């Protein structure tokens, strides 16, 4: 596996399958890399902790950076190359102007639907959309894989690429692939942030996946939301949202006649955890 740090080296890998990450790789990332390798295209894993998607007071400075272990995991999962872009490559005018430019970007509607990530992390998806657009522009991949673990992010990126097909066609022929959420044996969704959890908090964190499981018994979205809230509260989690939404636009729904998604964000001390599942997975 190659380790790429310049745009000249990157240009030799056009039409690759790109797996964008912020490093601190775990088996969830590993599964995306294996899916990418299985496409048969050269597999490029980008590792970049993107400052523009972190808000003031969020964990950008303490975000885990584990490059050597990341390179080992990516190589073991079949990556052709790890691309470690510099801040200058992604943001030639500097991070401060990049932050300002991100806020000017036109975002798909799904990025700002009320009551979800945008309420808790205003500006987050502007930073995500900005860095992903930059990665696509520079790497010119044939496909890119994103995890369902970050479901709203996945829908934002799918929408960006779809709307471009009908509009400016900025990334012609780019396919977005989905990777299922990888969980610990007890159900906790793997996350780079799980390493912040103390031993005492670890069982509490299970409240998220348990909430998704109990909500399957509900006949109506409102009941599912109530059941999720009760489970999260009984685990001592501070709820940011526990919502049932339509699976595409993430708008509120009154019934389960269309594909729906259960979406949760909750805090445990200073750790913010998210999880989600299709509403119909257990039906």
Confirm if 24 and 70 have CB atoms less than 8 A apart.
yes
Rounded to a whole number of angstroms, the minimum distance from the CB of residue 111 to ligand AMP is: 15
Hey, which residues does 252 pair with through a beta bridge? Answer: 245
Tell whether residue 274 is a contact of ligand AMP (CB under 6 A): no
Rounded to a whole number of angstroms, the minimum distance from the CB of residue 189 to ligand AMP is: 5
Supply φ then ψ for residue 18, to 5 degrees: -95, 135
The one among 37, 190, 239, 247 contacting ligand AMP by CB under 6 A: 190
What whole-number distance in Å separates Cα of residue 200 and Cα of residue 258?
39
Tell whether residue 43 is a contact of ligand AMP (CB under 6 A): no
The angle formed by the CA atoms of residues 50, 171 and 124, to the nearest 5 degrees, is: 30
Which residue is catalytic, options 29, 124, 216, 235? 29
Tell whether residue 135 is a contact of ligand AMP (CB under 6 A): no
| Cβ distance to ligand AMP smaller for residue 192 or 204 | 192
Tell whether residue 179 is a contact of ligand AMP (CB under 6 A): yes
Binding track, positions 104-123, relative to ligand AMP; x by CB under 6 A: --------------------
Confirm if 23 and 65 have CB atoms less than 8 A apart.
yes
Listed residue (195, 197, 207) closest to 232, CA to CA? 207
- Applying CB under 6 A, the span of 55-63, 87-95, 116-124, 179-187 interacting with ligand AMP comes to 179-187
Residue with tokens 């992010």: 153
The one among 147, 161, 174, 209 contacting ligand AMP by CB under 6 A: 147
Residues 3-42 that bind ligand AMP (CB under 6 A): 21-22, 28-29, 31-32
Tell whether residue 204 is a contact of ligand AMP (CB under 6 A): no
| Cβ distance to ligand AMP smaller for residue 1 or 177 | 177
Tokens of 4: 């790429």
Q: Which helix (H) or strand (E) holds 177?
A: strand 175-179
The one among 70, 117, 118, 150 contacting ligand AMP by CB under 6 A: 150
The sign one gets for the Cα dihedral 165, 169, 174, 178 is negative
Q: Is 29 a catalytic residue?
A: yes
Tokens of 75: 């190589």
Hey, which residues does 176 pair with through a beta bridge? Answer: 144
| Cβ distance to ligand AMP smaller for residue 188 or 253 | 188
What whole-number distance in Å separates Cα of residue 93 and Cα of residue 98?
7
Residues found near ligand AMP in the complex (CB under 6 A): 21-22, 28-29, 31-32, 146-147, 149-150, 179, 181-182, 189-192
Task: List the catalytic residues.
Answer: 29
């Amino acid at each position: 596996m190659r380790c790429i740090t310049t745009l000249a080296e990157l240009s030799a890998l056009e039409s690759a399958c790109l797996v964008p990450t912020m490093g601190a790789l775990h088996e969830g990332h590993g599964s995306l890399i294996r899916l990418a390798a299985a496409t048969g295209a050269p597999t490029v894993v980008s590792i970049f902790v993107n400052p523009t998607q972190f808000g003031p007071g969020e964990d950008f400075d303490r975000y885990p950076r584990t490059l050597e272990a990341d390179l080992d995991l990516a190589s073991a999962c079949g990556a052709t190359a790890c691309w470690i872009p510099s801040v200058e490559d992604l943001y030639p005018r500097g991070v401060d102007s990049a932050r300002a430019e991100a806020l000017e970007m036109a975002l798909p509607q799904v990025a700002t639907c009320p009551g979800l990530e945008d309420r808790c992390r205003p500006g987050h998806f502007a930073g995500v959309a900005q860095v992903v657009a930059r990665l696509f522009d520079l790497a010119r991949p044939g496909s890119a894989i994103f995890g369902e673990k970050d479901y709203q992010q996945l829908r934002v990126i799918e929408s960006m690429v779809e709307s471009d097909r009908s509009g400016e066609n900025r990334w012609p022929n780019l396919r977005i692939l989905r990777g299922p959420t990888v969980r610990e044996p007890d159900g906790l969704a793997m996350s780079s942030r799980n390493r912040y959890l103390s031993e005492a908090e670890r069982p509490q964190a299970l409240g998220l996946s348990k909430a998704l499981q109990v909500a399957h018994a509900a006949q109506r979205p409102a009941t599912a939301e109530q059941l999720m809230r009760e489970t999260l509260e009984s685990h001592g989690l501070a709820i940011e949202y526990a919502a049932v939404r339509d699976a595409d636009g993430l708008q509120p729904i009154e019934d389960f006649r269309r594909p729906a998604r259960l979406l949760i964000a909750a805090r445990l001390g200073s750790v913010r955890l998210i999880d989600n599942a299709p509403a119909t997975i257990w039906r």
